[in-house]
């Protein structure tokens, strides 16, 4: 019998690319997503789809009972850092309690491995000892979102020790690429693409010197599949080790889109980190993973995607 793979959040930005990789590898993805930020159009129709909330224990149990997945890629989450600050209980309901229920059911139905989407940016905090930051850095998350991700990492260790359900935690840098939501608060590449292509005003919060590590979504999806095959019970960063300021990003995207206007600068947003760059040598060593898509190429294909979306809308 063919093996099933459950992807929560599989209609979302990163999750839908994980689904694509699974299908390309000849595997069968079962997707659970409540479509709160994901879209059905993101999803390859060959995936089996349940429009369902991960916090709904009864329904989740049915999915596991029916499909008996061997592995779980857990990407469904409340992803807004600022919402987590405004509504920490709501964030914890989805990102901690929802995840915990899911992990309990997964263990009950014999899932062998969980690949969890965590965060590098929000987990290490602003006062890191080393940049690029490696996994030796002790997490000091500042937001409820980061706290919830760190809690889940710890619960995964508990489930592995107690019940033998193995895991790999992937702490992503700033992921960008096709299908990212251009209307959210994060996802600067998607927001700039959409606005530049429509010749609308582009806002930069603060002086634009904030530095981020931009990693392309297909590289992140590949890391998920390698994590499934190659390693267990460990935590690793997924980033490029290279930093790009918002101003540099703006200039590069201006050239690719032909946008002729200057950016509007507004007050910096509270809580925005000044500099976040991840050292992903552990993932290289353990998974043989390295980012393949250079920023320039990734920006070109993201902008191309948004151009096509605008034409077809």
Interface size with ligand NAD, residues (CB under 6 A): 29
- Our finding on whether 35 is near ligand NAD (CB under 6 A) is yes
Min separation Cβ 239 and ligand NAD, Å: 10
The stretch near ligand NAD (CB under 6 A) out of 32-40, 105-113, 222-230, 262-270 is: 32-40
Using CB under 6 A as the binding rule, whether residue 55 contacts ligand NAD is answered as: yes
Dihedral sign, Cα of residue 241, residue 263, residue 311, residue 252: negative
Residue 145 designated active-site: yes
CA distance 276 to 121: 6
User: Which one of 13-21, 58-66, 159-167, 304-312 is the stretch in contact with ligand NAD (CB under 6 A)?
Assistant: 13-21
Contact residue for ligand NAD among 4, 22, 38, 298 (CB under 6 A): 38
| Residue of the chain from 7, 47, 72, 75 that contacts ligand NAD (CB under 6 A) | 75
User: Minimum Å distance from CB 163 to ligand NAD?
Assistant: 22
| Choice among 5, 109, 124, 145 that is catalytic | 145
CB of 97 to ligand NAD, least distance (A): 10
Task: Kindly tell me which residue out of 76, 211, 225, 236 binds ligand NAD, with binding defined by CB under 6 A.
Answer: 76
Burial (CB count within 10 angstroms: exposed 0-12, middle 13-18, buried 19+), residue 181: middle
Query: Which whole-number Å values give the CA distances from 299 to 128, 227, 303, 312, in the listed order?
Result: 28, 26, 6, 20
Rule CB under 6 A: say whether 84 interacts with ligand NAD.
no
Which span (11-19, 57-65, 154-162, 277-285) binds ligand NAD, by CB under 6 A?
A: 11-19
Contact between 134 and ligand NAD by CB under 6 A: the answer reads no
Tell me the closest approach of the beta carbon of residue 57 to ligand NAD, in angstroms: 12
Which is nearer to ligand NAD, 37 or 257 (by Cβ)? Answer: 37
Query: 264 Cβ partners below 8 Å, 6+ apart?
Result: 201, 202, 203, 204
The answer to the question of residue 175 lying near ligand NAD (CB under 6 A) is: yes
- Least gap, CB of 312 to ligand NAD (angstroms): 20
Q: Compute the distance between CA of residue 293 and CA of residue 215 in angstroms, rounded to an integer.
A: 8
Residues between 99 and 118 that touch ligand NAD (CB under 6 A)? 117
Among residues 31, 43, 63, 94, which is the contact residue for ligand NAD, using CB under 6 A? 94
Q: Which residues are at the interface with ligand NAD (CB under 6 A)?
A: 9, 11-15, 32-38, 53-55, 75-79, 94, 98, 117, 119, 172, 174-175, 181
Mind telling me the catalytic residues? 145
């Amino acid at each position: 019998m063919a093996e099933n793979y459950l992807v929560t959040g599989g209609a979302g930005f990163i999750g839908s690319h994980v689904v694509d990789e699974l299908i390309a590898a000849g595997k069968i993805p079962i997707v659970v997503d409540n479509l709160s930020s994901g879209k059905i159009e993101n999803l390859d129709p060959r995936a089996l789809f349940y429009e369902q909330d991960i916090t709904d224990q009864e329904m989740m149990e049915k999915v596991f009972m029916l499909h008996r997945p061997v592995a779980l890629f857990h990407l469904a989450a409340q992803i807004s850092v600022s919402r987590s600050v405004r509504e920490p209980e709501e964030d914890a309901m989805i990102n901690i309690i929802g995840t915990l229920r899911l992990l309990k059911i997964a263990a009950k139905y014999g899932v062998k491995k969980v690949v969890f989407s965590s965060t590098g940016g929000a987990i290490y905090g602003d006062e890191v000892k080393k940049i690029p930051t490696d996994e030796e850095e002790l997490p000091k998350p500042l937001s409820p979102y980061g706290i919830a991700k760190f809690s889940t990492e710890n619960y995964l260790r508990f489930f592995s020790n107690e019940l033998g359900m193995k895991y790999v935690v992937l702490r992503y840098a700033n992921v960008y690429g096709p299908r990212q939501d251009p209307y959210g608060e994060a996802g600067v590449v998607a927001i700039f693409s959409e606005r530049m292509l429509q010749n609308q005003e582009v806002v930069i919060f603060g002086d634009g010197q904030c530095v981020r590590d931009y990693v392309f979504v297909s590289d992140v999806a590949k890391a998920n599949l390698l994590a499934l095959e190659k390693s267990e019970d460990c935590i690793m960063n997924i980033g490029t080790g290279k930093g790009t300021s918002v101003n540099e990003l703006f200039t590069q995207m201006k050239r690719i889109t032909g946008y002729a206007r200057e950016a509007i600068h507004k007050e910096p947003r509270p809580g925005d980190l000044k500099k976040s760059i991840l050292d992903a040598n552990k993932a290289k060593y353990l998974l043989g993973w390295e980012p393949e898509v250079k920023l320039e190429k990734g920006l070109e294909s993201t902008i191309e995607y948004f151009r096509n979306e605008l034409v077809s809308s």
